[in-house]
Amino acid sequence: METNSKKRWGSRFHFEQAWAENEECHKIIEDVWGQQDLLQPVPALSRLLHKCGHNLNRWNKKQKQEMVARSKELKEKIKRIADSTKMEDWITKNRLEKDLNCVEEKLEIYWKQRSRALWLKHGDINTKFFHYKASNRRKKNTIEGLFDNNQQWRTKEEDIESIAINYFKQLFSKANEGIDIQTILNRCVPKRLSAKENSRLLEPFSCDEVKSAMFQIHPLKAPGKDGLPGLLFHKSWDIVGTEVISACLDILNNNADCKPLNETLICLISKVPKPTKMSEFRPISLCNVIYKVVSKCLANRMKQSLSTVISTNQSAFIGGRIIQDNAIIGFESLHCMRKGYDHRWIAKIMNCVSSVSFSILINGSIKGFFIPERGLRPGDPLSPFLFLLCSEGLSCLIFEAERARKIHGLRFGDLEQRLSHLLFADDSLVFLDATVEESSTLKEVLATYEKLSRQCINFEKTEMCVGCKIDNSKAVALASNLVVTLVQNHTKYLGMPTFVGRNKKQVFGKITDKVEAKLQGWKIGLFSQAGKEILIKAVIQALPYYVMSCFRTTKGILHDIESLIARFWWGSTKNKHKLHWGNWRKLCRLKEQGGMGFRNLEDFNQAILAKQGWKLITNPDCLLSGILKALYFPLESFFEAKLGHYGSSMWSGIIWGRELLIKGSRWCVGDGHAIRVNEDLWMPRSPPFNLRTKIQIPKEVTISSLLYPNGSWKVNEVVSWFHQDDIPWVLGIKLPMNKPDWITWHSSPNGIYSVASGYKLRFTNPITAECSNKSSIKAWWKFVWGSILTSKMKNFLWRMFHHWLPTKIELTRRGMALDTRCDLCNQQEEDICHALWLCPKTLKLWKHLGSLQHFPSLITNAADFIWWLKDHIPKDVFLKFIGFSWLVWQRRNSFIFQHKALNDQMWINWASDLLELHLGSNQKSPPTIAPKQVLHWLPPPIDFYLINADASLVVGQPGFSLSAVIRDSKGSLVVAEVEFTPGCSTVLLAEAAAILLSLKLAIRWSIFKAKVCSDSHTIIHAIQQESTNYTEWGQLVQKAIHMRDSFQCLEFLFAARNCNNVANSLAKWSRLAQKSAIWTDCLPMCVAANLLADKPSVA
């Protein structure tokens, strides 16, 4: 065995994030991009990228050396004069610190990029953490040695390189087929893609598609062999965009060879703590950004057809869920795309897949070069979809055996469809009867799939379990026949426990262990408080999310996790306990309510599980809904379903989540057949959604009994049946024609349930805060968190506002026995007001700063004083006051803990410069100049008509009006209509109804070329985007979208209120007069003046 030696880590070229704003960097890119080759865009772009990388690398080496040397030099100079009391030295020190801050900021960005901690923002000086994480990451990824094929340990660099290259060459080499692939595919793979869908795929790619794909690439993640990440192209798009688009379109539309841009690095990610052989690494492909853009364009189109092509038994990579492992699949498996894809589309895919070449990244250095004969690359945007298509081959083979009755899947209740298999990426579950015949059939199916795809089944990881009625000898025989391991239960599937008994803590306890391990892996001292906040929200609280999305996790486990997070937040460790200034519930308040916005995990657990219930409501035809309905509520609705005696833990969690859905969802009236008048929640007002008083009618009477066949209300019945408070809300409902009743989530703008809106509803939080006015509190904290103060200053202000600063008075209130006198003046008790503003030593500083004039005669409460001060001085003066207060607190701490007594004038000069630096660097970018606003109504083009629509209402009061005004290109009135409804409405529902009224009016007057304007940006945007919406107004939007077909040309535009005066004043007139009317001339006098003012000749 060879001796082990410490490996030196290589360094390949990376574009640095810190260069993005550097003018020299942009100049280098501009100089390189001066040459163009329009005849051969792909090779030309390849040459430009190579030259750009070479020039940037050469410039970078010089920059990096200078940056590190400059940082060291500045620190040495500052150290030499740090303790000097001379004024000139203080001035010099301040200048040096400014220079050092600039250098340190660049170094922080540099180390952040190498740490891969992309969840944590730079800007609050987390450089130590970034450096620590990057160093640990490099140490973890270093390959000290490998066992070769003869089980000999090799540590020399050339031997490690040889082992890796040979391993991947063998893995990617083409195997003998020995099977008639096409015949099998023709037999079992159905053709599902239509000619129209193929035609849509083959449409020429556009410049916008390429640009969109480019900006979907992450700015920093996984740079390819050329070392150029997405950030370079994003920041320099005005320079490089033309050549990039030209080359990508040449590949996409002309099938140009993409080989020059398809050089790929294989990065080795260890699957075990200390890997010793190649099989213990997970290879990830680092593709060049330009190739990723081409692949992304193809993938963006391809994913639109996947729901048609892929059976419901597969769910990976559809709807944004991408879970991919290292799957090596032969090129010949792409025949599985006989799902109906045109041969020209397949050629585009093959151009990407077959033009690849590989090198391997070993200990930071690029090694070797070879061209694979087969395989897909994890890291290629196309790979998940191609893998999915290949896996569909297995699904089709199983379906074929099922149709031939050679395999019988699992039956759920009375559900006609049996479940034979579930596939998610490379994790599969297959269900069959416990017979030798069916196990032999499955064995044949798997063998055929291996030959078709060259994807081998890993029998070492394959397990089999049987039902409780199958005797052990038979189970052993079946397992032997399949050559798999027999187990009593499958412990996990897709990372989830498959069986949950009474001891839930044993099942879910590993989540707590993961959280604890993650927190212990970071040194608390490396984080600022802002860094801790982001770590908790982005990393720690995400760990239990996956399990909580399917199971109701025990309160004990969630409490343990919250305790660990709280200890980390307040700085406690195993060996050192720190004071917890506020309880967890207060920290979980929204930031706009004075909290930190951490999650209450129990409330969040229910909000996630409610999402599963929402799927059952809104997608009743999916496989999951069908199975759960057959098992638990075959004859009832989901809202009426019971847990039952044999309900699973997963079903129990969904039922618990349903409690939240019941609280925040209600019925929307369509045809009225599904909604029971008394029993169901359907009133479109703030919760609760039930009737004020139940009506004396049978329980099963539905709303349809109150509707005429044309969909209008039977007003007399409504008035005689309902309570007077309910009548306006009933009559205000605008009924969509021929649409079934549906469920909407009242707590979100689009009526669709989201975890965030569910959590907000669940986490009811009475504010016992410093002010009784809830809106004032919200405005205050919105101001604080959105201000230009640094993160440390904001955190200081937050703690000070809650009286969570460790002054002596506050510490004694929490049980500590202390002398409460101030250490600076040794005269008065030290509370927050005294420490920051009233101590005689501190008052001198405020006097020099000219701030005493802001102090009221009596200050007794820090929060009240700050609240008062914000409203009595200018905003910029207030923010500086907070900044100085933070520095006064730092000065106090330096005196107490480090025994540093600073000269007042020197401190004031230093503090002023430091605040100028901090608050200046945090200034937001200057606002972009908005386009000049149109101040008056403008006529439409000739042969077009302009339709203005508006609504008038007082929210919560009965009576609202809709208006529609149609004018020609001269500004002359064609027709106007108003419609008054005695009921109540919401603003958006009324605005959408007004647009619908205007469209119906235009059709009646045979107007087929028009522009429709409304001052409701929400409604116009929803129509333009054709977005999915489950609200009442969303259904009216859908109707407006469908009515486009009745026009030759119809455009929807947003108009400011001053461009919509006629429709606005007409709707207001109708509401006040409580009249519906129609005019072709002679509008009411109060409206006629606005109409005249809008005419082009008068305006």
Q: Is 846 contained in some domain?
A: yes
Give bridge partners of residue 952 from the DSSP assignment.
961
Segment 877-891 shows an average pLDDT of 94
Same domain, yes or no: 896 and 998: no
Provide the pLDDT for residue 926: 45
Task: Mention every residue, 6+ apart, whose C-beta is less than 8 A from residue 301.
Answer: 200, 201
Lowest model confidence (mean pLDDT) among 743-752, 758-767, 1032-1041 = 758-767
Domains contained in the chain, number = 7
Q: Is 149 contained in some domain?
A: no
Contact predicate 127/71, CB 8 Å = no
Provide the pLDDT for residue 462: 87
Same domain, yes or no: 384 and 398: no
pLDDT digits (tens, 9 = 90+) for 363-410: 878 888 777 776 677 777 787 777 777 777 888 888 888 888 898 888
Same domain, yes or no: 522 and 562: yes
Provide the pLDDT for residue 543: 87
Same domain, yes or no: 103 and 230: no
Provide the pLDDT for residue 520: 81
Provide the pLDDT for residue 933: 54
Question: Which of helix, strand or coil describes residue 475?
Answer: helix
Give the DSSP letter of residue 336: G
Amino acid identity, position 620: P
Cα separation, 665 vs 753, whole angstroms: 9
In the predicted model, is pLDDT for residue 316 greater than 70?
Answer: no
In the predicted model, is pLDDT for residue 117 greater than 60?
Answer: no
Cα separation, 579 vs 599, whole angstroms: 21
In the predicted model, is pLDDT for residue 331 greater than 50?
Answer: no
In the predicted model, is pLDDT for residue 916 greater than 50?
Answer: yes
Same domain, yes or no: 226 and 372: yes
In the predicted model, is pLDDT for residue 932 greater than 60?
Answer: no
Which residue from 943, 950, 993 is spatially nearest to 970, judged by alpha carbons? Answer: 943
Same domain, yes or no: 82 and 231: no
Question: Which of helix, strand or coil describes residue 1088?
Answer: helix
Q: Is 8 contained in some domain?
A: no
Same domain, yes or no: 425 and 289: no
Q: Is 3 contained in some domain?
A: no
Same domain, yes or no: 758 and 784: no
Provide the pLDDT for residue 196: 76
Provide the pLDDT for residue 262: 85
Which helix (H) or strand (E) covers residue 493, if one does? strand 492-493
Choose the final residue of a domain: 497, 523, 551: 497
Confidence of residue 734 (pLDDT cuts 50, 70, 90): confident
Confidence of residue 887 (pLDDT cuts 50, 70, 90): very high
Q: Is 61 contained in some domain?
A: yes
Provide the pLDDT for residue 330: 22
Amino acid identity, position 151: Q
Contact predicate 982/963, CB 8 Å = no
Same domain, yes or no: 261 and 200: yes
Bigger pLDDT: 680 vs 771: 680
pLDDT digits (tens, 9 = 90+) for 518-528: 888 776 666 77
Of all residues in the chain, the percent with pLDDT exceeding 90 is 32
Which helix (H) or strand (E) covers residue 293, if one does? helix 289-309
Cα separation, 627 vs 418, whole angstroms: 9
Same domain, yes or no: 427 and 375: no
Provide the pLDDT for residue 394: 83
Choose the final residue of a domain: 354, 389, 424: 389
Q: Encode 1017-1060 in three state secondary structure.
A: HHHHHHHHHCCCCCCHHHHHHHHHHHHHHHCCEEEEEECCHHHC
| Residue 879, domain extent | 774-921
Q: Is 745 contained in some domain?
A: yes
Choose the final residue of a domain: 735, 762, 789: 762
Which residue from 586, 224, 512 is spatially nearest to 380, judged by alpha carbons? Answer: 224
Q: What is the CA radius of gyration of the chain?
A: 35
Of all residues in the chain, the percent with pLDDT exceeding 70 is 85
Provide the pLDDT for residue 224: 82
Contacts 24+ apart (CB under 8 A), 123-127: 123/791, 124/528, 124/530, 124/531, 124/790, 124/791, 124/792, 125/528, 126/526, 126/527, 126/528, 126/531
Segment 58-65 shows an average pLDDT of 74
Same domain, yes or no: 955 and 1072: yes
- Evaluated on CA atoms 902, 904, 906, 907, the torsion sign reads positive
Query: Residues for the chain: how many in total?
Result: 1099
Cα separation, 581 vs 587, whole angstroms: 10
pLDDT digits (tens, 9 = 90+) for 1004-1020: 999 999 999 999 999 99
Q: Is cis: bond before 688, omega within 30 of 0?
A: yes
The CA distances from residue 193 to 337, 341, 371, 453, 957, in Å, are 10, 7, 33, 21, 53
Same domain, yes or no: 347 and 478: no
In the predicted model, is pLDDT for residue 649 greater than 70?
Answer: yes
CA dihedral 754, 759, 761, 763 (to 10 degrees): 180
Q: Is 150 contained in some domain?
A: no
- Number of Cβ within a 10 Å radius of residue 1099: 13
Which residue from 1089, 1025, 1027, 1062 is spatially nearest to 949, judged by alpha carbons? Answer: 1062
Confidence of residue 930 (pLDDT cuts 50, 70, 90): very low
In the predicted model, is pLDDT for residue 928 greater than 50?
Answer: no
Q: Is 9 contained in some domain?
A: no
Provide the pLDDT for residue 1034: 92
